[in-house]
Amino acid sequence: MKHLAAPSLGMAPARGIHYLRGMRVPVILGIETSCDETAAAIVTGDRTVLAERLLSQLGEHAPYGGVVPEIAARAHLQHLDRLIAETMAAAKLEFRDLTAIAATGGPGLIGGVMVGVMTAKAIAAVHKLPFLAVNHLEGHALSPRLAGDVPFPYLLLLVSGGHCQLLAVEGVGRYVRLGGTVDDAAGEAFDKVAKMLGLGYPGGPAVERAASRGVPGRFRLPRPMKGRAGADFSFAGLKTAVRQAIAALPGGRAAPQDAADLCRDFQDAVADIVGDRVRHALARFRREWPDGRTLVVAGGVAANAALRTVLDGAAREASLAFAAPPLRYCTDNAAMIAWAGIERLALGQRDGLDFAPRPRWPLAEALPGAAA
């Protein structure tokens, strides 16, 4: 993936239009507004991110310990137009230079999704551009291909605040779910543990920092689902065990070293559970998709170093490569939405301006026995 302030490939670009070896490559504006990040990015078919802007609403939601949908929608509305204008200016492009426009069409907080979709539709209508409503999960699922040349099929672990699932990615729009969480998402568990320990929001990075100062093995925490057939996850019991461990401390409160030790054991438990579930999924993936060469991780929790180490090990054992997008493309961003738009457009797909935003939009039909 290349990051350029201005077009630079092949022939001299006319009015910002991109050429690669003399061929015009698509240039897509992507918009992401499904949660608490307002983001715009312009990406080309040769994996160049021409410009991107991302505004996190962390400060606005932090006092509430989680994302407040109404605050999120208002913030998207307030900032999106300006972010798009800044992104276009940074890429030295005008709307008529674009090949298409893509926006997250769901799943997510509906107020935010509507802001992004309406904005994209308006630009598409005025400038007569194809419009693509991208499934946010598909954005995450294809993000490794923005970062590098990862061939289909691959096994994807998607771990974020709202999602925790294992998918065989056979191609664009072809996803088979091998397992998912039966209760909390992994990131949600990190966030809740952080909240219990008063570490702030978002919890994942705070728990990881605290864990680095922790001594392992002090708290015996459970590993729900470990060893069980299939590739489903469960984190609710682990979260409850952390709550009970805090209650059992003197005064029912965790001193800083207690919190660090607990974070360490919690993180080790998550890594252990995820490692086990991924190994199960890998065994099946290798059987049913023998051409597969890669294990890929995406979603915010992919930032966790302990988790990456475990995944790297599991991939090695299965003789697969391990790929993770750069951190800023693991968490929510607009470049992955633009990229998914590019992949879909290349297959001749586009959506109508009558597309209705979807608060729920599963990426793959669950196989019998796999949790949602």
In the complex, which residues of this chain contact Zn ion (CB under 5 A)? 160, 332
Query: Could you report how far apart the first and last alpha carbons of the chain are, in Å?
Result: 33
Q: Which stretch binds ligand KG4 (CB under 6 A): 2-10, 197-205, 289-297, 317-325?
A: 197-205
Residue 61 in contact with residue 71, Cβ under 8 Å? Answer: yes
Quick one: 18 or 145, whose CB is closer to ligand KG4? 145
Give least dist CB 108 to Zn ion, A.
Answer: 8
Quick one: 26 or 300, whose CB is closer to ligand KG4? 300
Quick one: 44 or 160, whose CB is closer to ligand KG4? 160
Supply the DSSP string of 107-155, one letter for each residue: SS-HHHHHHHHHHHHHHHHHHT--EEEEEHHHHHHHHHHHHS--PSSEE
- Nearest 10 degrees: CA dihedral of 69, 70, 71, 72? 50
DSSP conformation class of 235: -
Give least dist CB 336 to Zn ion, A.
Answer: 9
Quick one: 162 or 341, whose CB is closer to ligand KG4? 162
Nearest-angstrom CA–CA distance, 40 and 32: 6
**104 lies in the site for ligand KG4, by CB under 6 A:** no
Which one-letter amino acid corresponds to residue 67? V
Nearest-angstrom CA–CA distance, 37 and 54: 7
Quick one: 265 or 332, whose CB is closer to Zn ion? 332
Give least dist CB 308 to ligand KG4, A.
Answer: 10
Residue among 106, 111, 130, 162 that touches ligand KG4 (CB under 6 A)? 162
Among 67, 143, 168, smallest CA distance to 108 is for 67
Residue among 103, 304, 314, 344 that touches ligand KG4 (CB under 6 A)? 304
Number of residues that bind ligand KG4 (CB under 6 A): 19
In the block, which residue shows the tokens 């069980």?
228
Quick one: 44 or 267, whose CB is closer to ligand KG4? 267
- Helix H or strand E encompassing 63: none
Residue among 300, 325, 341, 357 that touches ligand KG4 (CB under 6 A)? 300
**202 lies in the site for ligand KG4, by CB under 6 A:** yes
Nearest-angstrom CA–CA distance, 279 and 183: 20
Give least dist CB 240 to ligand KG4, A.
Answer: 18
Say if residue 69 is preceded by a cis peptide, omega within 30 of 0. Answer: no
In the block, which residue shows the tokens 């160049």?
48
**325 lies in the site for ligand KG4, by CB under 6 A:** no
Give least dist CB 49 to Zn ion, A.
Answer: 18
Task: Give the length of the chain.
Answer: 372
- Our CA angle for 1, 282, 303, nearest 5°, is 45
Quick one: 276 or 343, whose CB is closer to Zn ion? 343
Q: What are phi and psi of 341, to 5 degrees?
A: -60, -45
Q: Which does 292 bind (CB under 5 to 8 A by kind): Zn ion, ligand KG4, none?
A: none
**35 lies in the site for ligand KG4, by CB under 6 A:** yes
Q: Which of residues 121-160 bind ligand KG4 (CB under 6 A)?
A: 160
Give the binding site for ligand KG4 (CB under 6 A). 35, 160-162, 187, 190-191, 202-205, 208, 299-301, 303-304, 331-332
